[in-house]
């Protein structure tokens, strides 16, 4: 068995004296593990860091085997991670969320969303909006997607400002006004492109609160787990730079 694919490194674990088990998110083969022989060498260690992009070749005698990875790095991002607290926590959070996926189950949209985040690690002002979008994509890819296309009560596509915590569907301002205390705010940037300045801190906070509610209820709660610590660390770092952004 053999295949080649584009990959984003999401984890690494020592194996024996000289090798590592590499975890990657691939474009066509989902979250995948493989053994990298000599991965602990001085030459290989910098190439196998979380956040790096690579072209990988996977080989195994049988499909169910762990298999071997041959790795050809395409983008090295360690310096970007070390230069920004937000970048480091963002990448750790993405990796933690991807581990919710079954191994070898293709999710190209999530690979692309994760890669967009990795490509913006040097621009921390863009990471928050991309992370909220990534969390929303994860919910959709795992069967808990938000339906933000039209109002759950009236069918209108205008003035959508709330989300029902029960159904995950959008609600218009007029229909939701009597029940707004029970609804979740829907920030405009989740409905389409924002201006060049990006979302305001209050909108980012609303976005993270929205995705947190459904992540906790539908993905982490049933597993008896809390949301990744890296998420809270990212929000704390973001709050220091942009003002209070608390999910």
pLDDT digits (tens, 9 = 90+) for 30-41: 999 999 999 999
Residues 64 and 87 in one domain: no
pLDDT at position 244 is: 55
Tokens (6 digits) for 108? 């190209």
Residues 199 and 104 in one domain: yes
Which H helix or E strand runs over 53?
Answer: strand 53-59
Q: Is residue 139 part of a domain?
A: yes
Residue at a domain's end among 19, 54, 76: 76
In the chain, the number of structural domains is: 2
Residues 136 and 192 in one domain: yes
Residues 144 and 108 in one domain: yes
Contact 198, 129 (CB under 8 A): yes
Residues 136 and 212 in one domain: yes
Residues 128 and 100 in one domain: yes
Residue at a domain's end among 76, 107, 125: 76
pLDDT at position 40 is: 94
Report the alpha-carbon distance of residue 39 to residue 20 in Å, rounded.
Answer: 5
Residue at a domain's end among 47, 76, 105: 76
Q: Is residue 160 part of a domain?
A: no
Q: Is residue 231 part of a domain?
A: yes
- pTM more than 0.85: yes
Residues 63 and 126 in one domain: no
Contact 20, 48 (CB under 8 A): yes
Closest Cα to residue 203, out of 186, 180, 183, 179?
186
Residues 198 and 127 in one domain: yes
Q: Is residue 229 part of a domain?
A: yes
Q: Is residue 92 part of a domain?
A: yes
Which H helix or E strand runs over 240?
Answer: helix 229-242
Residues 130 and 23 in one domain: no
Q: How confident is the model at residue 240 (pLDDT cuts 50, 70, 90)?
A: confident
How large is the angle between the packed helices 229-242 and 85-98, nearest 10 degrees? 150
Q: Is residue 155 part of a domain?
A: no
Q: Is residue 158 part of a domain?
A: no
Which H helix or E strand runs over 95?
Answer: helix 85-98
Residues 45 and 87 in one domain: no
pLDDT, one tens digit per residue, over 40-82 is: 999 999 999 999 999 999 999 998 999 999 999 999 999 999 9
Residues 129 and 223 in one domain: yes
Residue with tokens 């079954």: 102
Domain harbouring 46, CATH code = 2.40.50.140
Q: Is residue 166 part of a domain?
A: no
How large is the angle between the packed helices 85-98 and 108-119, nearest 10 degrees? 170
Residues 60 and 105 in one domain: no
Per the DSSP assignment, residues forming a β-bridge with 24 are 9, 32
- 163 vs 64: which has the higher pLDDT: 163
Contact 135, 168 (CB under 8 A): no
Q: How confident is the model at residue 195 (pLDDT cuts 50, 70, 90)?
A: low
Report CA-CA distances (Å) from 127 to 71, 102, 123, 217, 220.
Answer: 27, 25, 7, 24, 22
Give the sign of the dihedral formed by CA 206, CA 101, CA 111, CA 142.
negative
pLDDT, one tens digit per residue, over 12-31 is: 999 999 999 999 999 999 99
pLDDT at position 215 is: 98
Q: What average pLDDT does the segment 76-104 reach?
A: 96
Report the alpha-carbon distance of residue 176 to residue 151 in Å, rounded.
Answer: 9
CA-based Rg of the chain, rounded to a whole angstrom? 20
For residue 238, give its domain range.
80-148+186-242
Report CA-CA distances (Å) from 35 to 48, 57, 59.
Answer: 12, 11, 10
pLDDT at position 246 is: 57
């Amino acid at each position: 068995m053999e295949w080649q694919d584009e990959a984003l490194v999401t984890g690494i674990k020592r194996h024996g004296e000289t090798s590592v088990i590499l975890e990657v998110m691939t474009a066509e083969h989902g979250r995948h593990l493989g053994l990298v022989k000599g991965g602990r060498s001085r030459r290989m260690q910098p190439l196998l860091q979380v956040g790096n992009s690579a072209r990988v070749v996977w080989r195994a005698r049988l499909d169910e085997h762990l298999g071997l990875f041959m790795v050809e790095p395409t983008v090295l991002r360690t310096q970007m991670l070390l230069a920004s607290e937000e970048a480091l926590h963002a990448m750790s959070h993405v990796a933690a969320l991807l581990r919710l996926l079954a191994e070898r189950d293709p999710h190209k949209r999530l690979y692309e969303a994760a890669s967009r985040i990795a490509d913006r690690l040097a621009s921390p002002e863009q990471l928050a909006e991309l992370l909220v979008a990534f969390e929303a994509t994860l919910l959709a890819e795992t069967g808990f997607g938000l339906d933000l296309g039209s109002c759950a009560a009236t069918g209108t596509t205008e003035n959508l400002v709330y989300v029902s915590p029960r159904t995950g569907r959008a609600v218009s301002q007029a229909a939701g006004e009597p029940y707004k205390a029970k609804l979740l705010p829907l920030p405009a940037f989740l409905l389409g492109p924002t201006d060049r300045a990006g979302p305001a801190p209050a909108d980012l906070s609303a976005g993270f609160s929205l995705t947190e509610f459904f992540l906790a209820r539908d993905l982490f709660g049933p597993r008896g787990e809390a949301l990744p610590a890296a998420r809270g660390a990212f929000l704390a770092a973001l709050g220091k730079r942009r003002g209070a952004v608390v999910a």
